[in-house]
């Protein structure tokens, strides 16, 4: 008995702008240029290639080629496509320099970098070091746990 395969396009499942932004964010976070090109292609197909062709001034075939998993779009293409899709690429530091120092320290030393939100002096110290308000710090500790590295990642998550 033969198995019938049906056409599948990821674009059919990424219709909401929030889902599209999450997909592209995930692709950027992965560090995989092919995945980013593919994700932009999925969002482009979900929104409509004809409109994207008009908005970017690029030919449809060039868009399909650049925005595929094997594609390697130029920065110019990425900028045109994201602008046409109403998206913005942003560059943010991965984590505060203090957290990077903690990451680079031995695991035994990392355990010492915890935040006790019940101690005002610690809260004051870490809000200054991490550059956040007390409320944001406390919320991040409650969500991510007391380790500074987890808190820093939570504070800088999208």
Model pLDDT, residue 69: 85
Query: Between residues 140 and 152, which one has the greater pLDDT?
Result: 140
Give the dihedral sign, CA 11/15/20/23: negative
Please give the Cα distance from 106 to 113 (Å, whole number).
11
> What are the phi and psi torsion angles at 90 (to 5°)?
-130, 145
Please give the Cα distance from 42 to 149 (Å, whole number).
33
Count the Cβ atoms, other than its own, within 10 Å of residue 133: 10
Q: How far apart are the two ends of the chain, measured CA to CA in Å?
A: 48
User: In this structure, what token pair is assigned to residue 158?
Assistant: 């999208």
Contact (CB, 8 A) for 156 and 132:
no
Chain centroid to Cα 141, Å, comes to 21
Tell me the per-residue pLDDT of 58-67, one tens digit each, with 9 for 90 and over.
Answer: 999 999 999 9
Model pLDDT, residue 111: 53
**Residue 81: pLDDT above 90?**
yes
Tell me the per-residue pLDDT of 13-40, one tens digit each, with 9 for 90 and over.
Answer: 889 988 998 899 888 878 888 899 999 9
6-15, 20-29, 61-70, 85-94: range with highest mean pLDDT: 61-70
User: Mean pLDDT, to the nearest integer, of 69-88?
Assistant: 92
Chain centroid to Cα 127, Å, comes to 24
Rounded to two decimals, the pTM is 0.58
Model pLDDT, residue 101: 62
In sequence order, which residues have a C-beta less than 8 Å from that of residue 105 and are 6 or more positions away? 113
Beta bridge partners of 114: 147
Please give the Cα distance from 21 to 56 (Å, whole number).
19
Model pLDDT, residue 97: 56
User: Mean pLDDT, to the nearest integer, of 129-158?
Assistant: 84
Please give the Cα distance from 25 to 4 (Å, whole number).
34
């Amino acid at each position: 008995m033969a198995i019938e395969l049906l056409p599948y396009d990821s674009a059919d499942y990424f219709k909401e702008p929030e889902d599209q932004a999450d997909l592209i964010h995930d692709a950027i976070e992965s560090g995989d240029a092919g995945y980013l090109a593919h994700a932009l292609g999925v969002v482009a197909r979900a929104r409509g290639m004809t409109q994207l062709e008009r908005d970017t001034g690029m030919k449809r075939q060039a868009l399909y080629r650049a925005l595929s998993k094997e594609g390697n779009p130029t920065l110019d293409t990425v900028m045109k496509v994201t602008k046409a899709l109403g998206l913005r690429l942003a560059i943010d530091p991965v984590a505060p320099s203090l957290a990077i120092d903690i990451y680079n320290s031995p695991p035994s030393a990392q355990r010492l970098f915890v935040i006790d939100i019940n101690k005002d002096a610690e809260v004051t110290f870490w809000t200054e070091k991490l550059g956040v308000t007390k409320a944001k710090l406390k919320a991040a500790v409650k969500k991510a746990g007391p380790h500074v590295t987890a808190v820093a990642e939570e504070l800088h998550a999208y």
